[in-house]
Structure 1
Amino acid sequence: MVKNIVYIVVAVVFVFGYFRYFEHRSLYFPMEEIEVVPSAIGLAYEDVYFETEDGVKINAWFVAAENSEYTLLFSHGNGGNISHRVEKIGMLNKLGLDVFIFDYRGYGKSSGRPSEKGFYRDMEAAYNYLVSEKNIQPERIIPYGESLGGPVAVDLASRKKVRALITESAFSSTVDMARALYPLFPAFFISAKFDSVSRIKDLNIPKLIIHSKNDDIVPFAQSVKLFKAAPEPKRHIVLTGSHNSCYVDSKHEYTKGIREFLEKIP
């Protein structure tokens, strides 16, 4: 009897550990090498480091715009690193926006290991850096979350004072993603929830939700779910193109939509 119990416990621990390993390998795709920097496309930038509350060293770029009214705090997706967003940084900067983009722990030159709680800490540390080191008022900060960075941006906006919120191709939650990609995967094993929907429900700041109807990774339905959960004021921009290139495939709609959203922020 005792042996049977031991076998069951060992089996449960093994299965639980396997799913944790599978979850981590399926969720985070960091790259260490910085392949290109903003100066490659003519952008002046500051390469900075700051530390999180749990002692992780985070690398970031600050790209200033002349006479900017707002600073985008950019939390990128789960693949690559900040160097894979240089073209997008340039497009956003041309809209007159400061862009502050950082690499999560375990990505690029940042130390540490990726985790949901860690990502939230990294985002908060980036926010604190803008306020304390760059002397940027919270009323000028707009979190911009791309893909998995969407839930990270929503989380910050739910806890800190910011002017508005923008998400692009964002997850509604990893549970929804698991159900879409791996229908047989037992959702109760998922530890990293990245739940945007529950956090956006009480956000009364202006919100812009951007998503491609042809998204080949994060289903468009997730943006609809997120938009429906969000209270007014809010706007939904529908693009065309793939998950990773919709901002290029629909460049006009993308830049026009963001510009108009910014102009209407009270």
Structure 2
Amino acid sequence: MRMGCVVSQLAAKFAFFPPSPPTYRIKKRDDGRLTAVSASSAAAAAPIASADDDSLDVLLVDTRRGNKIVAFYLRNPYARLTLLYSHGNAADLGQLYDLFVQLKVNLRVNVMGYDYSGYGASTGKPSESNTYTDIEAVYNCLETEYGVSQENLILYGQSVGSGPTLHLAAKLPRLRGVVLHSAILSGLRVLCHVKFSFCCDIYKNINKIRKVKCPVLVIHGTDDDVVNWLHGHGLWKMSREPFDPLWIKGGGHCNLELYPDYIRHLCRFVHEMESITTEIRLKKIRQTLHLPRRSSTSTSTKCCRIKFQRPKCAECSLPSCAKCSCQPKCTRCWRPSCFKCFCKPKCLRCPRPSCPRLSCPRPSCPRLSCPRLSCPRPSCVKCLSWVCCCCCCGGRGGEVNDNRSREV
């Protein structure tokens, strides 16, 4: 147990790289509202957004672990959906503000971005458990302060941000959609390229993706040297409702926003999420529940009006009757015929059919003799002996059978 904790702490050190020093600072304006200023120069602290811009709200959100995290809320007056953005490693809100503005304008959505504990101006230390409480606190803030429900929310997770994104998505059954940008299967799978889950692993997205019940869009670069493309492909394959993925040819880990297909595919995804009505969502929920469907098979294909059928022949696919055990004679396999008249198929030891001279279609074997006990497949109802072929017995097969029947 102690060894597992040590490995987990070691993996956490590799997973979190907060910018040092932060790229922004939080100040309070004369009207009491918070604002973010650039930390590049201490003498000239320029605000990140203009002073008269009311579309940006800077928030301090309290988590249940006692940390205060910084969040940016960018408002779009024409938005119908809200995007909750969880950024990747080695970045904070000061570096992502310009990207948030582009997403707000091009996607026509409201954008909520936040810094994890220990990132930017947020207090605390970065850890896996803290990121989970951070995104839960931001989601509660969206519900209480801005009235955003999960039906109108899209979660966006980039790189390490896919961990808290899928953590929250697995708990929200009516979520509108999820975007995974350069996402990971798990922390140790990135570091060690293992194929198994361990107790000391962090961000086990491979187990949480199966619990997400909304459409999932996966974006990944084919030349990503930090998180291999197979991570994104694996998450897309395991999604319950996968959306058309975007594999950016030649894209790396931190430059996918520069490709034109990035914003174009995101616009398509958001537009389709806006067009999803309640009726469509209920239909998809029923499909995920695997409800039994009514059989479209007509009753004419069933024998004796029975609601079930016995297994069909693998080669000729002929139906069978479960009531009387009657099966049509198959020319390709030796399936038994009707048990009422004791008709049997042809002999397995020779390819020849039954004797054409006999009136009864009971089969016979030219290689077998006529003794009553040596034949393993009785045919005659009177003596239970095998009917000899006329070709073997010289036309005396009937006489021999008659004599033996009299002996019995």
Give the whole-Å Cα distance in 2 for the aligned partners of 1:140 and 1:98: 10
Q: Which amino acid is the alignment partner of residue 257 of structure 1? A: H
Structure 1 position 52 matched with structure 2 position 40: no
Q: Indicate how the Cα distance of structure 1 residues 135 and 199 shifts in structure 2: closer, same or farther if over 3 A, else same.
A: same
Q: Secondary structure at the match of 1:47?
A: strand
Q: Secondary structure at the match of 2:192?
A: helix
Give the whole-Å Cα distance in 2 for the aligned partners of 1:92 and 1:172: 26
Give the whole-Å Cα distance in 1 for the aligned partners of 2:266 and 2:254: 18
Q: Which amino acid is the alignment partner of residue 163 of structure 1? A: R
- Partner of residue 222, structure 2: 213
Question: Which residue of the other structure, out of 108, 132, 137, is the alignment partner of 1:120?
Answer: 132
Q: Indicate how the Cα distance of structure 1 residues 17 and 144 shifts in structure 2: closer, same or farther if over 3 A, else same.
A: closer
> Counterparts in 2 of 1:244-255, with a 5 A limit?
244-248=254-258, 250=259, 252-255=260-263
Deviation at 1:242, TM superposition (A): 1.8
Deviation at 1:222, TM superposition (A): 0.4
Structure 1 position 195 matched with structure 2 position 168: no
Contact 1:179 1:187 in 2 (8 A): no
> Counterparts in 2 of 1:87-236, with a 5 A limit?
87-94=98-105, 95-160=107-172, 161-180=174-193, 188=198, 191-236=200-245
- Partner of residue 259, structure 1: 267
- Partner of residue 6, structure 1: none
Give the whole-Å Cα distance in 2 for the aligned partners of 1:162 and 1:55: 27
Contact 1:151 1:195 in 2 (8 A): yes
Give the whole-Å Cα distance in 1 for the aligned partners of 2:170 and 2:4: 31
Q: Secondary structure at the match of 1:92?
A: helix
Q: Deviations over 1:174-195 (max 9, x none)?
A: 1211223xx7xx974x735201
Deviation at 1:47, TM superposition (A): 0.8
Larger radius of gyration: 2
In terms of fraction of residues, the more strand-rich structure is 1
In terms of fraction of residues, the more helix-rich structure is 1
Q: Which amino acid is the alignment partner of residue 153 of structure 2? A: I
Structure 1 range deviating more: 205-214 or 85-94? 85-94
Contact 2:157 2:180 in 1 (8 A): yes
Give the whole-Å Cα distance in 2 for the aligned partners of 1:220 and 1:233: 16
TM-score normalised according to structure 1 size: 0.84
Give the whole-Å Cα distance in 1 for the aligned partners of 2:69 and 2:265: 31
Contact 1:57 1:111 in 2 (8 A): yes
Q: Secondary structure at the match of 1:151?
A: helix
Question: Which residue of the other structure, out of 22, 27, 35, is the alignment partner of 1:33?
Answer: 22
Structure 1 segments (4+ residues) deviating >6 Å: none
Contact 2:8 2:202 in 1 (8 A): no
Contact 2:11 2:202 in 1 (8 A): no
Q: Deviations over 1:59-112 (max 9, x none)?
A: 110011121011111111122212121232122112211110000011111111
Deviation at 1:237, TM superposition (A): 0.7
Report percent identity of matched pairs. 26
Structure 1 range deviating more: 20-29 or 129-138? 20-29
The answer for unaligned runs of 5 or more in structure 2 is 25-37, 39-46, 277-408
Give the whole-Å Cα distance in 1 for the aligned partners of 2:101 and 2:223: 24
Deviation at 1:205, TM superposition (A): 0.8
Give the whole-Å Cα distance in 1 for the aligned partners of 2:59 and 2:10: 33
- What is the number of residues matched between the two proteins? 246
Q: Indicate how the Cα distance of structure 1 residues 192 and 59 shifts in structure 2: closer, same or farther if over 3 A, else same.
A: farther
The Cα RMSD (Å) is 2.3
The answer for unaligned runs of 5 or more in structure 1 is 1-11
Q: Which amino acid is the alignment partner of residue 33 of structure 1? A: P
Q: Secondary structure at the match of 1:67?
A: coil
- Partner of residue 7, structure 1: none
Deviation at 1:23, TM superposition (A): 2.0
